[in-house]
Amino acid sequence: MFGNPVRTLKRTTVGVTATLAALAAVAVPAQAGPIGACVQMRAFYLHLGTGDDDLRDNSEVIVWLMQNHGPDVELEHVWGGIGNRSDRGYSLAYQNPNWHIGSCDVAGIKVRMLSHNGIFQTDDNWNMDSISLDGYADWGRPSYSISASGSPVKRFTNSDQWWSLFG
Ligand SMILES: [Ca+2]
């Protein structure tokens, strides 16, 4: 006459899990900004996550920090591979050691994916499902952080190589 309470509870739990999974598939709002006092940044940690289309081992990713006032500041270039549904971290310096940027002067980041095709290879496409960049001052003090995640945040192709995020 009455439904099995255990079965009802299970069904509710499955429903909640499915709802959370649906929410997780939606892009998470970007988080960005300086941490603590305004300081010069010395080093960076870049974390990249791949979704359903890998970053090939001969594909290059370049990250710039956009400034509120001044030119974009290029960081050291990184390379794949980052396989499907996996991620990778990179410790980075400035592309030119004479460059610098203050943690409060960052307007956001700009990212470019460049495919370098080997023999018989077609252009690489890449689903970037997550990205975070953390900036550090002297003595490794965290001074800036920006991140985004989605499914994907950006699908890079040879005809669509650029993505940027303000914050
Ligand atoms: Ca690919």
Question: Considering the domain boundaries, does residue 59 fall inside one?
Answer: yes
Question: Of 114, 100, 117, 21, which Cα lies nearest the Cα of 65?
Answer: 100
Tell me the CA–centroid distance for residue 53 and ligand 1, in Å.
Answer: 5
Going from the Cα of 118 to the center of ligand 1, the distance in angstroms, rounded, reads 13
pLDDT score, position 167: 82
Distance 126 CA to ligand 1 centre (A): 5
DSSP 3-state of 165: strand
**Position of tokens 């988080």?**
31
Q: Is residue 13 part of a domain?
A: no
Tell whether 14 is covered by a domain.
Answer: no
Cβ atoms within 10 Å, residue 160: 11
Low-confidence residues in the chain, pLDDT < 70:
1-30
Instruction: Give the predicted TM-score (pTM) of the model.
Output: 0.82
Q: Give dist(CA 91, CA 76) in Å, integer.
A: 9
Structural domains counted in the chain: 1
| Dmax (CA) of the chain | 78
DSSP secondary-structure letter at 140? G
**Residue owning tokens 């929410």:** 23
* 19 within some domain: no
Tell me, what's the pLDDT at 74? 98
**Gap between the Cα atoms of 128 and 126, Å rounded:** 6
Question: Does the residue 54 lie in any domain?
Answer: yes
Domain limits at 129? 27-166
- Write the CATH number for 35: 2.60.60.20
Query: Ligand 1 center to residue 148 CA distance, Å?
Result: 20
Ligand 1 centroid–CA 153 distance in Å is 15
The strand pairing partners of 134, in sequence order, are 45, 145
Q: Is residue 12 part of a domain?
A: no
- Give distance in angstroms: CA of 58 to centre of ligand 1: 10
pLDDT at 89: 98
Cβ atoms of 75 and 65 closer than 8 Å: yes
Domain for residue 96, yes or no? Answer: yes
Dist CA 94 CA 101 (whole Å): 10
Could you identify the residue written with the tokens 């080997």? 118
Q: Give the pLDDT of residue 93.
A: 97
**Does residue 121 sit within a domain?**
yes
Report CA(135)–ligand 1 centroid distance (Å).
Answer: 28
